[in-house]
Amino acid sequence: MLKYILFTLFICGQVFANSVEVVIDPKEPLVNENFRVFFEIKTQDGTDPIINFDPLGLDVISRNETGIKTKTTYINGKLTTERSLTVVYEMLAKRAGSAFLRNINVEVNGNKIKHKTVRINILKTPRRARDILVRAEVSKEEAFVGESIIVRYYLYNRAPVSSTDIKKFPKLDKFLKRYHQEKMTGERASIDGDIYTRRVIYTAQLFATKPGDYKIDPITLGVQYSTRGSNPFDKFGLGSRYGSLRKLTVSSEPVDIKVKALPVDNVPASFTGLVGPHDFNLELNKDKFVVNEPIELKLVVSGPGALELFEAPRIFNKASIEEFEKNADLKVSQNFQGSKTILYTYLGREAEVIENKTIPFSYFDPESMSFKTKEVDLGRIVIAGTSNIRKNKTNTPNNVEQPKSEAPSVTVDELEILKPVYRLGNTYTYNAIKIMLALLLLVLAYSLYVFRDKLRGLNRPKDELLSVIAKDGVNYSRLHKLIERIGGNGRDMEEIVTNSNLSSSTKKSLISLINKCEKSYQESGKREKFKVDKKVLKEVSAYGIKG
């Protein structure tokens, strides 16, 4: 009889010593919202449990061990040690109704523990107002191609939040996007009559490049907050004397956006492609030049449009004024207004007088549903001097009338900038020596200038965008524009590069630049510039970019 009693006590001790408890948090999760499943395993030995189960109607997101708790008791002169190990699974249900955890088996140090099937009731809508939620809110749900759309992801809370962590950033791949860093200042807000505190977690400015139906991707947050009510997880060591600390993973709902095409009627020839009110300012370094002297201009365009896609227009269309160099730089302010500065360098190859030149710039105004044009006055420009190209009159027949020069006459006042610094002497020998020296110096200076011009032309990439990148590095907007020109299929920049015919080393370099640009903004909110290997630019240029 004593043997049976001891055997029964031994079996009971083993059952008590090796057990598993499953707890759902929250008890009734919401559809498309992450929740946690706690497996608390009690055992006398072993630290690495093997947990197996079949989820029905559930997706397992992650697994995490919270640690081991040890409890020692002294009963009838014997020490008994109990170990408690908690394993947390993060799960997600994509439809409302009943979900199940079936065939639950836990193995610890060769001991197998079974648990009955767990039924989980998934709610479509919460039974009461939630304490924590996240929402994506947009400035407009209908927009034109190229029109600015501001999306802010807000965290709403009614319980004190101690920490937040972005587990999954929204991709927003179909948009041209800018990231903005705004202050996370709390403010009161109401949802269906319930008062919350809300703060901005993530902000992006979006531009659609094609008409159609778009979706604002959700963001997923991990939130740790405090509650003063009873908490079934206090026994797991997650409580505090001010309230229970709880962790929750929440995601925002997608938001539909309709993007409309721009009108095709009455589109002015000077349309810049920009949408929304913009300002245009053009500055010239001076108004009088000599032949082959650099003419430097600065065009500043500012406004809410997609300035990344704005192509700098040609200021002079005369054959006698040659465009020598052009580069651009984009800056975005905290009020979502951008400013793009384009620096031009022209060379006047022949004498020319340009009277009161005005340059039109047009944009589309979504408020009035019309195109508006602003004209920028460049003023009067004088290019004085003569060209180095001389016409050969000896081979022209006598009966053919020579065409008159189209170069305008230049007044004496306009040529004051060309007055000689020194006066020549009176003797023939002195004059001859001075003239020869002056001519020799002029020829030498011109040869050096032409050589430098050709040398710079050889070292400069043919494509204007590559020229800017080679000189100043690449930021996110330039990289987006560069990869967009490569063409090909892909949902994002990394996929476009992967699907291209570029060499593996160039692909690796471009993908590294994509990650650096995105990471730099997500961590600091700044658009840092990164240098690009010349070999990469050379291969991309030869790949077939259209200039």
pLDDT tens string 503-534: 888 888 888 888 888 777 666 656 678 888 88
Confidence band for 437, pLDDT divided at 50, 70 and 90: confident
**CB count in 10 Å sphere of residue 382:** 22
Say yes or no to pLDDT of 456 above 70.
no
Indicate left, alpha or beta for 195 from its phi (over 0: left) and psi (-120 to 50: alpha): beta
pLDDT of residue 488: 66
Residues 19, 82: contact at Cβ < 8 Å? no
What length is written for the chain? 547
Place of tokens 């300002």: 279
- In CATH, the number for domain 132-260 is 2.60.40
Domain segments of the chain: what residues? 18-122, 132-260, 271-384, 420-459, 464-542
**Residues 387-396 pLDDT 10s:** 554 444 444 4
Q: Which CATH class is domain 271-384?
A: mainly beta
Residues 354, 380: contact at Cβ < 8 Å? yes
Dihedral of CA 404/405/408/410: which sign?
negative
Q: Do the domains spanning 132-260 and 271-384 agree at the CATH topology level?
A: yes
Q: In this structure, what is the dihedral angle of CA atoms 396, 397, 401, 404, given to the nearest 10 degrees?
A: 10
pLDDT of residue 228: 57
C-alpha 41/C-alpha 51 separation (Å) is 10
Average pLDDT over residues 442-456: 77
By percentage, how much of the chain surpasses pLDDT 70?
77
- In the chain, the N- to C-terminal Cα span, in Å, equals 97
Confidence band for 46, pLDDT divided at 50, 70 and 90: low
pLDDT of residue 109: 77
Place of tokens 């993530």: 202
Query: Quick one: the chain helix, strand, coil %, rounded to 5?
Result: 20, 45, 35
Phi first, then psi: give them for residue 477, nearest 5 degrees.
-65, -40
Average pLDDT over residues 280-298: 90
Domain 18-122 has CATH 3.40.50.300: no
Say yes or no to pLDDT of 255 above 90.
yes
If you average pLDDT over every residue of the chain, what do you get?
Answer: 80
pLDDT of residue 200: 95
